[in-house]
Amino acid sequence: MNRSRTESRQQQKIRRKRRLRRLIIFNGFMLGLIAVVIGLWLNTQNWFDASSLFNGENKPQAADAASAGTADGQEPQNAETGVGSSSPSPSDETAATNEPANTDGNVANGEGEAAATPVMQPEEVGNEAVDGTGGDDASGQQPSFPAGDEDTVKLSFVGDILLAASVGDMMKLNGYDYPYKQSLLYLSEPDIMAANLEYPVTDSGVPAVDKTYVFKGSPDALPAFRDAGFDVVSLANNHTLDQGVEGLFNTMEHLDETGISHMGAGKNDTEAFAPVIKEVRGIKVAYIGLSRVVPEVSWKADKNVAGVAETYDTTRAKAAIKKAKEQADLVVVMVHWGEERKDTPLQYQRDFAREYIDSGADLIIGSHPHVLQGFETYKGKWIAYSLGNFIFSAYPKGPTAETGVLDAICTKKGDCDLKFYPMTSDKAQPALMDSENAAALLKRLTSLSFGVKLREDGALVSK
């Protein structure tokens, strides 16, 4: 489905960015002003103490004690604590504990949560990111946002999204914007924000049979998802048809009504393999969705068959990429592949990524393993083998709780600089890791990558 980014929505994002920057500048100014006032107050106290000495009202020892107290009176450093841990409810089944691993990536599965229905919150994408928006990154600095560089576009990505099951329960209790509160700044600031939507959005449908996990989520969750900043979702995965063709059609209809673009599935193979094309500051970006994880043949989109864009070989995928490259400056391939809960890619993933890039892809973003995997460069193009889960379970454990936001600042020619912000998901709410855990995760991701190092600030560089 080929549609340009609407001018009104783009303007809303630009206005929100300006308001957000003004807010950050104002907050910084106010903090500075408060610091000056406190400093003046402390100096005034010192002056009074000194005056009392000259008037003989205090002994020198008392003056020394007073000045010692003020000399020490610097503000305590505010170390981030990251995300608090909590014990999962014994009754809640999670992706981390119940996923059957499948080595060839053919059959579904693995996400370990019973189907549930989330709920709602309205409005357009132009909402401001204000409170609860993350904070310092792993290096202790606020994230830097390019001020509308005319020569670049900022693309951002997260992994799997499931707004149902235990996540749906958390949203019912806390509101439908709840999952995004700690990460909102990182979701709303990019020009285009993309994710893998791993469930059908429908109030009806017929559940798939012979599947371990069958999901279903209410369309009422979508407005808050959009307002958090999400612009594009891939439907090319092993849960899109969990509620049959009816569920797929409902999903596409609800996304269209909410204003969220989608690709990777459709009423036929032409629609499923067609890119979504977004334009920002004259730079056209094409998004293609592909899946190497299809539960059964009937899920594959064909000439007169609704379904997902599959890539068990690369023939149709490469044709779609080449065609998209003729229509856009940048081509992003979001691909569902690999083995669940394995932090290293299979050989076919590395082979396929190279074929996609040889066909014109500029950036490859992987999903499905439900854990983070490493990165690689090939011919100057970046490959992220898996971004893991982002919002998938209220009680993830171990590596399935490790997540983050991947930023790519790209030129019209397809050259991209990448930066990863490490986060932990707890109670369905991703938030920045503290500096110690972030450094450990970045180091581990470096060890899992191929010729790529993740620096302490999260920037990716070739070794």
Q: What is the pTM of this model?
A: 0.74
Which H or E element spans position 271?
A: helix 269-273
Give the per-residue pLDDT at 34.
76
Among 446, 398, 401, 396, residue whose Cα is nearest residue 420: 446
- Mean pLDDT of all residues in 331-348: 98
Counting residues of the chain whose pLDDT is more than 70, the rounded percentage is 69
pLDDT at 3: 45
What pLDDT does residue 104 have? Answer: 41
By the 8 A CB rule, do 367 and 237 touch? yes
Q: What average pLDDT is seen over the chain?
A: 80
Give pLDDT, residue 235: 98
What was the pLDDT predicted at 33? 74
In CATH, what number does 147-462 get?
Answer: 3.60.21.10
Q: How far apart are CA 282 and CA 191, in angstroms?
A: 12
Residues 6 or more apart from 287 whose CB is under 8 A from it? 194, 232, 234, 261, 263, 275, 276, 277, 278, 332, 334
Please, which pLDDT band fits residue 388 given cuts at 50, 70 and 90?
very high
Better-scored residue on pLDDT, 83 or 360: 360
Q: What is the mean pLDDT of residues 89-101?
A: 35
44-58 pLDDT, tens digit per residue, is 555 444 444 334 434
Whether 207 has a pLDDT exceeding 80, the answer reads yes
C-alpha distance from residue 29 to each of 40, 59, 185 (Å): 16, 40, 19
The residue extents of the domains of the chain are 147-462
Per-residue pLDDT tens for 243-302? 999 999 999 999 999 999 999 999 999 999 999 999 999 999 999 999 999 999 999 999
* Better-predicted residue by pLDDT, 32 or 189: 189
| 221 pLDDT above the threshold of 90 | yes
Take residue 192 and report the two structure tokens written for it.
């285009």
pLDDT for res 309: 98
Q: Please answer whether residues 441 and 363 qualify as being in contact, where contact means their C-beta atoms are separated by less than 8 angstroms.
A: no
* pLDDT in the model for residue 30: 72
Would you state the pLDDT for residue 391?
A: 98
CA distance 95 to 144: 33
Q: Is residue 454's pLDDT more than 70?
A: yes
Mean pLDDT of 138-161: 71
pLDDT at 79: 32
User: Phi and psi (nearest 5°) for 138?
Assistant: -60, -25
pLDDT digits (tens, 9 = 90+) for 123-138: 333 333 333 333 444 4
Average pLDDT over every residue of 186-202: 98
Residue 8 is predicted with a pLDDT of 57
pLDDT at position 15 is: 57
